[in-house]
């Protein structure tokens, strides 16, 4: 077996492999021994027909595929063994140039990570977002907390906005009932705009037991074409009204619902929490700015094979996620107003970005000799055990290879970010 290696563009190595007649014949015999049991030849027990008889019956190329697989594996293994500079990122493409009984010639196109130079990643200046938390932000946060502590209670008052109403309704068009226009004990939040036109507005002011004819018009673009643009009358009866009761911000609420004792302490605590959360978001944004700068400024075209693999992985992941929710990916793509080709093009663009980012960051980590030790992982596992309130040895029994790899990747990324912080100016 002879082969010639040529380095092509964007990290692809091309290997021209020539297999002479004697070696090719040996591969054909090897394929025959492995595959002869598949063939039925009249006059012979299955698996006992001579090779030449099988080839005469099924064609001269009956064992070509099996032989190609064997010489391909031998050639590829030898190339990787003898050429350490070839580091494949996916399986090579095989292109047969010649194939007959006298031998075979084929080309392996082996996609590898292209050589590239990192953009500047030291001595840069980055700006961290300024953190400001005032009374307005504190009040909004407390209002959200009060809303989460609210409850719905039945009321005898008239219907108002934001109330939850239980009602029966029966819809008519031109005096006739229509499909889907009737329901009993339907729960509706007034002001949610989940019903068409001014349906909800016309319920405001009604009381329990009231009946009313609600007149509306279906939108011209309504999804049910038989109803689109048509006026309708809904006969409505109010069965129940519930209003949301929001607790008052006072000492009783604070002491019963929070870790604080007074309103002032509670407000101060909320402000501290908001500042901490804002700082965490600002830190994440700063980290992303640093990484994006290095990735964007590095000149590198992601290898096609890696982009294709990442694209397929993303699409398969989304397909599985949609299927779990009972949705077909094709239907989701239509819902967001795109064609499948447009959707795949967008996924491919993000995949190319992901691949480039991974290659850039991996090279940066290698160039700076950043590494994670077993001690680092053990320390993190101890922290996780403590946060889970479990003994370390018990927690370690739950730690599998996937979790170890996840921990290692997180620690390595933290080490990289710490390095970038230490070697750049942060304003």
E strand residue ranges, 264-360: none
Query: Quick check: helix, strand or coil at residue 205?
Result: coil
Least confident of 185-189, 248-252, 296-300, 303-307: 303-307
The predicted structure's pLDDT at residue 393:
87
Rounded mean pLDDT of 187-209? Answer: 95
The predicted structure's pLDDT at residue 426:
94
The residue to which tokens 């949609």 are assigned: 322
What distances in angstroms separate CA 351 from CA 37, 103, 249, 295, one per listed residue? 44, 40, 49, 14
The predicted structure's pLDDT at residue 224:
87
pLDDT in tens, 58-77: 998 899 999 999 999 999 99
**Does 134 have pLDDT greater than 80?**
yes
The predicted structure's pLDDT at residue 416:
96
The predicted structure's pLDDT at residue 400:
87
Query: Residue 395 — pLDDT band, cuts 50, 70, 90?
Result: confident
The predicted structure's pLDDT at residue 183:
95
What distances in angstroms separate CA 335 from CA 224, 231, 331, 408, one per listed residue? 16, 27, 6, 39
pLDDT in tens, 150-179: 999 999 999 999 999 999 999 999 999 999
The predicted structure's pLDDT at residue 60:
87
What distances in angstroms separate CA 60 from CA 55, 63, 70, one per listed residue? 5, 8, 18
Per the confidence metrics, is the pTM higher than 0.75? no
The predicted structure's pLDDT at residue 58:
93
Question: What is the total residue count of the chain?
Answer: 427
Query: Residue 290 — pLDDT band, cuts 50, 70, 90?
Result: very high
Rounded mean pLDDT of 265-294? Answer: 96
Phi and psi, residue 273, nearest 5°:
-65, -40
**Does 398 have pLDDT greater than 90?**
no
Rounded mean pLDDT of 304-326? Answer: 91
Query: Residue 119 — pLDDT band, cuts 50, 70, 90?
Result: very high
The predicted structure's pLDDT at residue 114:
87
- What domains appear along the chain, each with residue ranges and CATH number? 2-111 (3.30.70.1050), 151-245 (3.10.50.40), 273-426 (1.10.3120.10)
Phi and psi, residue 334, nearest 5°:
-65, -40
The residue to which tokens 């960051």 are assigned: 361
Percentage, residues of the chain above pLDDT 90: 77
Rounded mean pLDDT of 225-240? Answer: 95
Helices of type H across 59-199: 64-82, 135-148
The residue to which tokens 């609420």 are assigned: 253
**Does 36 have pLDDT greater than 90?**
yes
**Does 411 have pLDDT greater than 90?**
yes
d(CA 134, CA 48): 88
User: CB pairs under 8 A, 24+ apart, for 251-254?
Assistant: 253/146, 253/149
The predicted structure's pLDDT at residue 401:
86
Query: Residue 1 — pLDDT band, cuts 50, 70, 90?
Result: confident
Q: What is the mean pLDDT of the chain?
A: 93
Beta bridge partners, 171, equal: 234
């Amino acid at each position: 077996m002879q082969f010639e290696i040529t380095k092509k563009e964007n990290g692809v190595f091309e290997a021209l492999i020539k297999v002479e007649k004697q070696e090719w014949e040996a591969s054909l015999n090897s394929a025959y021994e492995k595959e002869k049991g598949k063939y039925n030849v009249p006059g012979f027990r299955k698996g006992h027909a001579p090779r030449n008889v099988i080839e005469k019956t099924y064609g001269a190329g009956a064992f070509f595929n099996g032989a190609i697989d064997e010489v391909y594996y031998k050639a590829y293994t030898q190339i990787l063994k003898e050429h350490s500079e070839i580091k494949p990122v996916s399986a090579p493409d095989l292109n047969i140039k010649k194939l007959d009984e006298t031998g075979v010639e084929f080309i392996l196109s082996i996609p590898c990570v292209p050589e590239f130079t990192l953009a500047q990643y030291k001595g840069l200046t980055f700006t961290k977002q300024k953190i400001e938390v005032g009374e307005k932000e504190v009040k909004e946060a407390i209002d959200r907390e009060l809303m989460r502590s609210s409850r719905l209670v039945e009321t005898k008052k008239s219907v108002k906005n934001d109330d939850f109403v239980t009602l029966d309704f029966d819809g008519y068009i031109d005096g006739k009932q229509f499909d889907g226009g009737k329901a009993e004990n339907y729960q509706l939040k007034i002001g949610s705009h989940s019903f068409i036109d001014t349906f909800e507005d016309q319920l405001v002011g009604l009381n329990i037991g009231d009946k009313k004819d609600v007149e509306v018009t279906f939108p011209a673009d309504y999804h049910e074409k038989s109803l689109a643009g048509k006026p309708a009358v809904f006969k409505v009866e109010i069965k129940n009204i519930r209003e949301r009761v929001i607790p008052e911000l006072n000492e009783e609420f604070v002491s019963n619902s929070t870790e604080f004792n007074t309103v002032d302490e509670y407000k101060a605590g909320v402000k501290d929490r908001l500042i901490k959360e804002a700082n965490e978001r600002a830190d994440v944004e700063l980290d992303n700015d640093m990484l994006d700068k290095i990735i964007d400024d590095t000149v590198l075209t992601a290898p096609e094979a890696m982009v294709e693999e990442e694209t397929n992985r993303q699409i398969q992941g989304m397909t599985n996620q949609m299927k779990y929710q009972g949705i077909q990916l094709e239907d989701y793509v239509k819902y967001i107003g795109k064609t499948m080709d447009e959707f795949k093009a967008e996924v491919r663009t993000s995949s190319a970005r992901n691949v480039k980012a991974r290659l850039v960051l991996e090279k940066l980590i290698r160039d700076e000799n950043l590494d994670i030790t077993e001690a680092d992982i053990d320390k993190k596992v101890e922290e996780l055990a403590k946060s889970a309130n479990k003994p370390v040895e018990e927690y370690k029994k739950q730690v599998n290879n996937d979790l170890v790899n996840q921990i290692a990747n997180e620690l390595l990324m933290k080490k990289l970010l710490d390095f970038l912080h230490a070697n750049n100016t942060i304003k």
